[in-house]
A and B are shown apart, each in its own frame.
Chain A
Amino acid sequence: MITLTDVHKSYTKDHETIKGVSFEVKEGQIFGLLGPNGAGKTTLMQMISTLMKPTSGTIEIDGLTSDKDLLEIHRKIGFLTNEIKLDPLSTPNNLFNFFAALYDIPKDELEERKQESFARFGIEPFANKKIVELSTGMKQKISIAISLIHDPPVIIFDEPTNGLDILTSKQVTDYLLELKEKGHAIILSTHIFSVAEELCDEIAMLVDGKIVAQGTVDELKRIAKADTFEKAFFNIYVEHHVE
C-alpha cells in the first residue's frame, strides 16, 4: 500500500536530513516510526503525505506517485499532525461540513459519518461550540475525526496520543486497532513506548535520517539484546548515533 524506495531529502546542499529510507506498509498493518527528536520522522511523514517532495527516491501510495496523481493520493491518505490546526473560530460541525465539501462527500453519507464519528469520540455535545473554547483532548479528537472524514485507506498519524489523558488515549488506540482490522494501512509515529508496543506490527527506528533497525517489537528486543522495549530503543540509539 505504501512503498518507500531509497528516499533522500536535503534542505541544504551539504547535509541530508533523510539518508536513503526504504520500507513498505501493507493493508491491515500498523507501521511504527520511532526515533529521537530531529531524527527526521516529521520530514518523512510530510513527504509521505505529499506536503514535501523527496530530493531523490520514490514514494508510492497504492501505486500512485505525487508527481502524477497528487489529488488521487489526497483522497487515499488521512494525515494527522500537530502542525495542522483547527480554525479556532469555527465549530466542529462547520469544520466537518467544510472538509466534507472539499473531499466531495455526498450529503447523506456525510450526515451518517458525522453522526458516527461524533458519537464515537463524544463530540456531539460540543458540535456547535467554537474550537477555541474546547479542551486539548477534544481538539485532538476532532482533528482525528476530520483527518479520517473521507475514510482513507492510508492513515498517517504523527503523535496521535500526544498530550492526551489515558482514557482518551485508549479511545484513540482502540480506534486505530479497529481501523487496522478493517484493512487500513497505518503509519504511526510516537514517543510513547507502550502505545508502540501495543499497536505496531512492525517498527522502524530512525536515527539521523536512516533506519537503523526494523522489525516487530520482539525482533527489536532480540537485536538489541534487551528485556524491555524501552531498553532496546536506548541500546540501538547509542549504537548508531554519531556525534
Chain B
Amino acid sequence: MKTIIGSFFRKRGQMGAEASNTTFLVTVLFVAAFSCAVMSWMLWWFPYHLFSDETYNIVVVNAPESFVEFNKASQSYFDNRAEEFGDRKNLIRNWQHITEFEYNFDGYGQTEFFYEETDALYDFVTFGKWMRKNDAYLTVVFPKDFDEQVRARQEGKTGEKPQILTYFRTNSLEYADMREEFEEVYLATYQTEIRADFGLAITSVSDAQILEEPLEIVDTLNGRNSFGAVLGRTFIPILIFVILLYASMSVGTNVVAGQKERGTFTGILLTPTPRYVIVLGNLIGVIIKSVIPVLVIGVLAALIARAFNIFAILSLVAYIIVLAAFIASITILISVINDTVVSAQTAFLPIFLILVAACVTCIQSVSEREDFYMFLPVYGQFYGIGDIFVGQLNYYGLLFSSLSTLGLTAIITFITIRLLHSERYTVSIDSVDAKAAKRAREGGGLSILERINKLTDNFSYTITEIFYPLFVLSFYQFLALIPVVISDMRKPEYSMFIQDLANVGSVGDIINKTFEIFAIFFTDPLFLSMMTLGYAAILLTYFIHAGRVWKIKGFKNKVTACGYPLSDKKHIGKHYGLGLLFGFLMMTCTVSIMFITGQLTFKGGFTFSLAGVGVYLFNLLMWFPQGASEEIMFRGFMIPAFNKRYKVAIGVAVSSILFSAFHSLNAGFTPLASFNLALIALLFALIYLYTGDIWMTSAMHTAWNLSQGNIYGLQVSGNLASNSIVSAVYDTNANPLITGGAFGPEGGLATTAVTTIALVIVIVLLVRKRNNAKTEFAAKAVMQANPDTKPDVNA
C-alpha cells in the first residue's frame, strides 16, 4: 500500500489529458469561491486588526446634548469621589467604598469618551478607524435627532423608539462583557436620568411613563462580530467543501480512470497486490493530496479568525479529514466505474452539484437547524466547521457525524473493491467479439448503467451551459459591488437604506429596496465604471473560455465559438452600425406608440442637465460592454453550444427563456415583462442566426438600453438611468399594461407590438434566405459552428 500511496507523490509533469469543460468550470468555481472569501475577509478583518490590547475608551457618534451632559455630570461625580481618595486608582483600590454601579461603569478608572459626528450610521469601516485612533473598544451611535425623537415620543407624536447602535471590538472576549455592562448600567442609568434630571423638559406624567420603556439598543450590526459569524458559518465551510471537492476530483479521477485511459492500470492489477490494497492505497493518496491545501487554508483561517485553542484546531482537522475521506471514496468509486478522465469528471459533476446544493441549504438554515443534522454526513461537517469558526465546539456532533460519515465511506469503499474484481471495470475489451457485443448492447436497448451515464452526461452538459452565465454574471457583479458598497457606506442615503432594511417584510419590499439602492448607485460614477469593468471582465472570461473549449466542442476556431467573427472587417462595421440604428429605431417606435396613445408626455422638452454630464458619459460607456456581454452569454456562446448536442430550436428556446429569467429579479417585474423579454431574446437569437454573428445584436442591445434610459429617460428592465436627453413621464392615466409600469417599456404591450413586427420581418428574411441557396451566409456560419445540425429556424 505504501508503494501505491507513494506513487501520488512522485515528481511528475503536467498531465497530458485534455482539460474538460467540467474541469474548467470547477476551476473557475473554485477560484471564485476563494476570491469571494478573501474579499469578504478583508472587508471585515482589515479595519479591526490594528488595535492595541487593552482599551477602555468609548467613541460616541452623534451624541445628543442630553447624553453629553449626562457624561459630564457622571465624570465630575467620579472626579469628586476620586478626590476623596486621592486619585481614581485609589478609589478603585478601596472598592468597598464604591457602589456596584460606580465600579461597573468606571471600574478601571480609565474610560474616556470621544465624540464624532456622521450621517452614516452603518459605516463600520469608519467606526473602526475612529476606534483605532482613540483606542476605544466600543462605538455608540445615536441617530442625529435623538433628543427630538425622544421628545416626539414623549409628546405622543410617534410610537417609534429611537435606536442606539453599538459596535464593539471582538478581539477580546472581555469587550463583549464590557459592552453589556455599559448598556445595562450606564445607558440604563442614562435613561432614568433623562427622565429625571437631564436635557429633556419633562412636563407631564404621561411623558415620563413613555420613557419607562427601555431604550431599544440595537446590536444587530456589531461590526466584526456578526460579519465574522456569517463568514465563519458560511464562507469558510463552503470554501473548504469546494476546495476538497475540486482537489479530490482532479486527483481521484486521474488515478484509476486516468490510469485506465493511459493503459497503465492493467500492469498494476497483474502484480500480486490485493484489490483492496489498490483501492485503499488510492483512497489514502487522494485523501492526503486533497486535504493538504484545505488544512493549510483551514488552520490559517482559524488562526486569523480568533484566538483558537488546540481542541478547536484538532476538531477542525478531524472534520476535514473525515469529509475528505468521504469525498475521496466517492471519487474513487466513480473513477473505477469510468474509463477516461473526462467521463469520470463528467460523472462527478452531478455529485459536485448535489454537495454544493447541500452546502447552500446549510447556509440558509444555519440559524434554525435541527440538532440531528449535526450527526449526518456532509451536513454534520458543514455545521461543525461553521461552529468551530464562531467558537462553539460540539464533541458529540463531531463524534457522531464522523462515525456516520466513516460508515458510509466504508460502504462505498467496499462496493468499489467489489467492482474492481469484475472484469467489466478492469479490462479494456477490444476483441472483435467484445466490440460487437458492446454494439449489440447499445443498439438493442441500453443497460441501466449506460442509461444513467447518458442521462448524467446530458444533465451535466446542460447544467454547465445554463449555469455558466449565471455564475459568471453574479461573480463579477459581486466583485464590482464591493468597492461601491465600501465607498457608499459613507453616504447618508445608504445609511437610511440600511436602516429601512430592518422594516422589510415582503418580497415586494425587497424588490422596492433593490430598486432604491440601484437608484443611488446609478448616479455614482464609481458604480458605473465598476459595472463597465465587470461587463468587460465577463466578455474577457468568455473569450478565454471559448479559447479553452472550442476544440473540445468541435468548433472551427475560438472566434466562431463565441459569435464574434473578425474575418470580414466591413461586415463588423456594417452589422454594428445597423444594429445601433435598429435598436434606436425600435425604441423610438415603442416610445412613439406610447406617445401617440397618450400614455406619456415629455416633461419640459430637453431635460439634459449639464451638471450630470460626467455621470452621463460613464452611463453611456457602460451600455456597450453590457450589451456585448449579455449577447455573448445568451446568444454567441450559448446557442452554438446547445446546437452541438441538440436541435437549433432547443438552443434558441433555452437561451430565450434564460434571458427572460435572468431579468426577472429586477424591480417591477410582471408576467408580461417576462414574455416580452423572451420575445426580444427570440428576436435577437433569430437575428444572430440570420447574420451569423452577434455584432448586430450586441449593437441593438446597447442601442435599445441606451436610448431607453439615456435618451428617453425610461426604466431599463426596472433600473432608472441617471440623466437623459429628454424625460418621458407616464401620464397619470397611463395604463401599465401598455407602458410596463415600474419595469419600463419592456413590461408593456407597446414593446410586444414593436418586437412582434420586427420578429415577423426577421422570420420572413430568414425563410427567404433559406430558400435562396446562393446567399446562405447565415446557414454557413451556423454550419461552421455546428457541422452536424442544419439550422432549423422554423421549429
Q: A: which residues have CB within 8 A of B? A: 11-12, 15, 17, 37-38, 40, 42-43, 46, 49-53, 71-72, 74-75, 77, 79, 81, 83-90, 94, 98-99, 101-104, 130, 132, 146
Q: Which chain A positions have C-beta within 8 A of B6?
A: 101
The residues of A that contact B272 with a CB separation of less than 8 Å are 71-72, 74-75, 102-104
Instruction: Give the interface of B toward A (CB within 8 A).
Output: 2-4, 6-7, 10, 12-13, 15-16, 259, 262-264, 266-274, 423, 426-434, 436-437, 440
CB pair A17–B267 under 8 Å, yes or no, is no
From B427, B433, B440, name the one whose CB has the most chain A CB atoms within 10 angstroms: B433
Partner of B16 from A40, A43, A52, A88 at Cβ < 8 Å: A88
- A104 / chain B contacts, CB cutoff of 8 Å: 272
In contact, B432 and A37 (Cβ under 8 angstroms): yes
Residues of B within 8 A of A94 (CB): 10
Q: How far is the CA of A102 from the CA of B427 in the complex (A)?
A: 20
Verify B270–A79 contact, CB threshold 8 A: yes
A72 to B434, CA, bound (A): 28
How far is the CB of B5 from the nearest CB of chain A, in Å?
11
B263 adjacent to A11 (CB under 8 Å)? no
Instruction: Output the least CB separation between B261 and chain A (Å).
Output: 10
In the complex, the chain A residue whose C-beta lies closest to that of B14 is A89
User: Chain A nearest CB: distance from B507 CB in Å?
Assistant: 55
Chain B residues positioned under 8 Å from A98 (CB to CB): 3, 7
Residues of A within 8 A of B436 (CB): 11-12, 15
Bound CA span A130–B262, Å: 15
Given A52-B427, A71-B272, A74-B271, A89 and B434 touching (CB < 8 A)?
no
Q: Which residues of A contact B274 (CB under 8 A)?
A: 71
Q: A169–B177 Cα gap in the complex (Å)?
A: 86
CA gap between A38 and B2 in the complex, in Å:
40
The distance from the CB of A11 to the nearest CB of chain B, in whole angstroms, is 4
Q: Return chain B residues, CB-CB under 8 Å to A42.
A: 430-431
Complex Cα spacing A50 to B3, Å: 22
Q: Chain B contacts of A90 at CB under 8 A?
A: 10, 12
- Taking a contact as CB atoms under 8 Å apart, the answer to whether A85 and B432 are in contact is no
Residues in chain A near residue B13, CB distance under 8 A: 89, 130
**B423 near A52: Cβ-Cβ < 8 Å:** yes
How many angstroms between the C-alpha atoms of A225 and B430 in the bound complex? 35
Pairs A–B under 8 Å by Cβ, sample size 7: A12-B436, A71-B273, A74-B271, A86-B267, A98-B3, A102-B3, A103-B272
| CB closest residue in chain B, given A103 | B271
Q: A75-B272, A103-B272 are in contact. Are A86 and B264 (CB under 8 A)?
A: yes
Bound Cα distance A84, B423 (Å): 15
Contacting residues, chain B, for A81 (C-beta < 8 A): 266
Cα distance A38–B264 when bound, in Å? 24
Q: Which chain B residues lie closer than 8 Å to A88 at the CB level?
A: 16, 262
> Distance in Å from the Cβ of B70 to the closest Cβ of chain A?
76
Would you give the shortest CB distance from A7 to chain B, in whole angstroms? 15
Q: How far apart are the CA atoms of A146 and B7 in the complex, in Å?
A: 17
Chain A residues whose C-beta falls within 8 Å of the C-beta of B429 in the assembled complex: 11
Question: B432 touches which one: A38, A71, A75, A101 (CB < 8 A)?
Answer: A38
The chain B residue with its CB closest to the CB of A46 is B427
Identify which of A84, A89, A99 contacts B15 (C-beta below 8 A): A89
Instruction: Give the interface centre of A42, A79, A81, A85 by most chain B CB atoms within 10 Å.
Output: A85
CA distance A81 to B423 in the complex (A): 17
Nearest CB on B from A148, distance (A):
12
Chain B residue nearest to A82 (CB atoms) is B263
